[in-house]
Structure 1
Amino acid sequence: MSKAFASQADLEEKQVSFTKLSDNAYAYTAEGDPNTGVIVGDDAVMVIDTQATPVMAQDVVRRIREVTDKPIKYVVLSHYHAVRVLGASGYAPQHIIASRDTFDLIVERGEQDKASEIGRFPRLFRNVESVPPGLTWPTITFEGRMSIWLGKLEVQLIQLGRGHTKGDTVAWLPEQKILFSGDLVEFDATPYAGDAYFKDWPQTLDNIAALQPRALVPGRGAALTTPDAVAQGLAGTRAFVADMYASVQAGVAAGKDLNAVYRDTYAALKPKYGHWVIFDHCLPFDVTRCYDEATQYADPRIWTAERDVAMWKALEA
């Protein structure tokens, strides 16, 4: 392989920020590493996305304890990816909440995804031995929309459409107009789209925009603390998804195989997005999924550790 596989060579630790968005909302971010959202209600705390291991979750807990001593009662999974869910036990929550679609994906492919992700990006699974055996299972699931009340503070959990996965959930504070988007939105970070629905994703972003958030915590990248910054985050993600799909679709229409489409798409997107975090990591997975969707696979195929390496060798050799 001409490049180190995925992000195995990425060993540089990132600087963590804990940004206050309101008296109730905080963003735990780390220079393009996966973000965690925190909502402090009247009587309890909700965490959105957990970090990848219980040991890594303890740094989030430490930040929470700097601002409140209220119990961490709820963990929300924006989707099923291991890097977002395997730290759940570190919070000792009363409930783990996810969409029914996310639950179904855990059943279908959780074990394979866990092995795949740990192999791709070891730094994000620091102290992986602290993850309990088995998978992280929701204790509450919902379809479409539900509200959780933290005292008088309403948190709406909403499926606004498919995009990053079929189970994507956002957390929305309607009174404060603050949104936690999960990986539906990224900021100055390359969207991972190996399990995506490219045709649906733009409409889902439009549905987010229709809420008119005044602040937004993306899946990766800095917290977006103004409406203008939110618009930039949405526009950047939308442009990446559209440019990727247009390039791949053009290659498919021209009868090109996956390798040729990958080379063309990499060349087309590198000048505009190459400075974004994990660009080289994501592109092989993203193009492969996009090619699948544009040809014969309406739904994402399961990534396994073996499939990961075979794909990488085929495209990056």
Structure 2
Amino acid sequence: MKDSMKEQKQGLHEDFYFTKHGFEKADWHDHAPSPQHFQPAYLSTPEFQKNGYHCEELKDGFYWVTSGGYDAAFFVTDEGVIAIDAPPILGENMLAAIESVTDKPIVKVVYSHWHSDHIGAASMYPEGVEIIAHEITRELLTRFPDKLRPVPTLTFEDKYVIEFGGKKLELTYKGANHCPGNIFIYAPVPKVLVKIDIVSPGSCAFMHCDASENISGWVEAHDQILEFDFDFLIGGHITRWGTRQDVITSREYFHDMLAFADEALMQWSTPNGAGIFFAANPVDQYSVGTVNWINSMVNYVTEKMLSKVTSNGQKWEERLAGVTTNTKYHAYTIVESTRTERTHKGYQKRGTGGSDYFI
């Protein structure tokens, strides 16, 4: 009986892999392997397999903690520990990581932003701990309460400096990017920068520009990261910490995509270009024209990105993990954000005049 139920569940699972209305199942044979630099040695160690996390001192008491998919950090000072974020997939393994290197108490917690996949285990920290975040993060957590994400006790607008136990953290807000309230967390002495959900070192990032809200701000954040003097970048994902070169490479990937999106929009999103897709279907099939119009631009950008020989002579799939699986999702987001966030280069003149602009 149990075996029969298991088979039924497996069958249902497989049915949804192949439904004609949704996404096709990806086959690993059809995709490029991750570059070697994306596969750090700790992933295959017995210690990681047993503990479920990896903890590494970057420099001067600043530690990086990862589940192999989500990152967090902590800073050991003379007077206690400053913890940064609390991803649920790390959960109490974050506490175990801290306890493995110090017996000092956790005194302060910094939230990078309000999303629960990065701070959804924050309730595990000691009662009464000071929680520091941007004022927008406090506003959102007050508006959408979650007992697992305590509301910050101290907030700031533009800049705030934590000087504690002989250590310093500089918190800065430069505007919405991944989401409103997502801050830069910088330790100037060990030169560690924590900036979550912008660059995923060694990877082209998770789908749709890491599910970000302000794509223009998200792309701009690459340049803002490079304004800092850092040797180590903690990006929130996925298998390793990053370097300046990781940021430069990610920026190049998305700048290429922006250029191809602009080409696609000027070809298929002018009134004449888009009109082809809507004239091909009955008037009661407007949505079919819409999806073919958008998808044609996305497919153009995807094909250009996957076939491009980049600045170092390699294709993108050789430089970044996830390119052959995620580029189409990024392309959709970049095309749509260009249409909605950037100039349309003109507009409809009276009557039927004008065609050299986006719609």
- Tell me the secondary structure at the aligned position of residue 268 of structure 2: coil
1:3 corresponding residue in structure 2: 24
What amino acid is the match of 1:186? S
**Unpaired runs of 5+ in structure 1?**
6-13, 112-131, 225-229, 299-317
Pick which of 167-176 and 202-211 moved more.
202-211
Q: How far apart are residue 27 of structure 1 and its match?
A: 0.7
1:26 corresponding residue in structure 2: 63
Match of 2:296 among 252, 260, 265: 260
2:340 counterpart of 1:296:
yes
1:119 corresponding residue in structure 2: none
TM-score by length of 1: 0.71
Q: How far apart are residue 252 of structure 1 and its match?
A: 1.9
Q: Distance in 2 between matches of 1:25 and 1:39?
A: 5
Q: Distance in 1 between matches of 2:100 and 2:91?
A: 15
2:186 corresponding residue in structure 1: 172
Q: Deviation per CA, 1:13-68, whole angstroms, max 9, x where unpaired?
A: x654311112320111344x121111111112122221125xx3211211110111
Aligned residues: 261
RMSD between aligned residues: 2.9
Map 1:117-156 onto structure 2 (within 5 A): 133=147, 136-156=150-170
Q: Distance in 1 between matches of 2:86 and 2:249?
A: 25
- Tell me the secondary structure at the aligned position of residue 155 of structure 1: strand
- Tell me the secondary structure at the aligned position of residue 254 of structure 1: helix
Pick which of 156-165 and 143-152 moved more.
156-165
Pick which of 185-194 and 65-74 moved more.
185-194
Is the 1:265–1:287 Cα contact (8 Å) retained in structure 2? yes
TM-score by length of 2: 0.63
Higher relative contact order, structure no. (Cα contacts within 8 Å, ≥ 6 residues apart): 1
Match of 1:87 among 111, 121, 128: 121
1:121 corresponding residue in structure 2: none
CA gap of 1:3–1:297, structure 2 versus 1, over 3 A, is same
1:246 corresponding residue in structure 2: 259
CA gap of 1:254–1:80, structure 2 versus 1, over 3 A, is farther
Q: Distance in 1 between matches of 2:115 and 2:67?
A: 18
2:228 counterpart of 1:211:
yes
Map 1:166-245 onto structure 2 (within 5 A): 166-192=180-206, 193=209, 194-220=211-237, 221-224=239-242, 230-245=243-258
Q: How far apart are residue 296 of structure 1 and its match?
A: 2.7
1:46 corresponding residue in structure 2: 82
Q: How far apart are residue 136 of structure 1 and its match?
A: 4.8
Q: Distance in 1 between matches of 2:177 and 2:259?
A: 16
CA gap of 1:255–1:217, structure 2 versus 1, over 3 A, is same
**Unpaired runs of 5+ in structure 2?**
1-21, 27-42, 270-292, 308-314, 343-359
Q: Distance in 2 between matches of 1:260 and 1:103?
A: 41
Q: How far apart are residue 80 of structure 1 and its match?
A: 2.6
Is the 1:86–1:136 Cα contact (8 Å) retained in structure 2? no
2:339 counterpart of 1:286:
no
Q: Distance in 2 between matches of 1:281 and 1:73?
A: 41
- Tell me the secondary structure at the aligned position of residue 97 of structure 1: strand
Q: Distance in 1 between matches of 2:323 and 2:152?
A: 31
Q: How far apart are residue 196 of structure 1 and its match?
A: 4.2
Q: Distance in 1 between matches of 2:246 and 2:213?
A: 18
Q: Distance in 2 between matches of 1:280 and 1:133?
A: 39
1:125 corresponding residue in structure 2: none
What amino acid is the match of 1:219? G
Q: Distance in 2 between matches of 1:102 and 1:265?
A: 34
Q: Distance in 2 between matches of 1:269 and 1:105?
A: 36
Q: How far apart are residue 97 of structure 1 and its match?
A: 2.3
Is the 2:122–2:149 Cα contact (8 Å) retained in structure 1? no
Is the 1:57–1:91 Cα contact (8 Å) retained in structure 2? no
Q: Distance in 2 between matches of 1:282 and 1:144?
A: 33
Match of 1:101 among 133, 136, 140: 136
Is the 1:198–1:245 Cα contact (8 Å) retained in structure 2? no
Q: Which has the larger radius of gyration?
A: 2
What amino acid is the match of 2:247? L
Q: Distance in 2 between matches of 1:51 and 1:214?
A: 24
Q: Distance in 1 between matches of 2:140 and 2:61?
A: 31
What amino acid is the match of 1:62? A
Q: Distance in 2 between matches of 1:29 and 1:265?
A: 33
What amino acid is the match of 1:249? D
Q: Distance in 1 between matches of 2:93 and 2:149?
A: 22
Is the 1:198–1:241 Cα contact (8 Å) retained in structure 2? no
Pick which of 193-202 and 21-30 moved more.
193-202
Q: Distance in 2 between matches of 1:295 and 1:215?
A: 35
Q: Distance in 1 between matches of 2:153 and 2:326?
A: 31
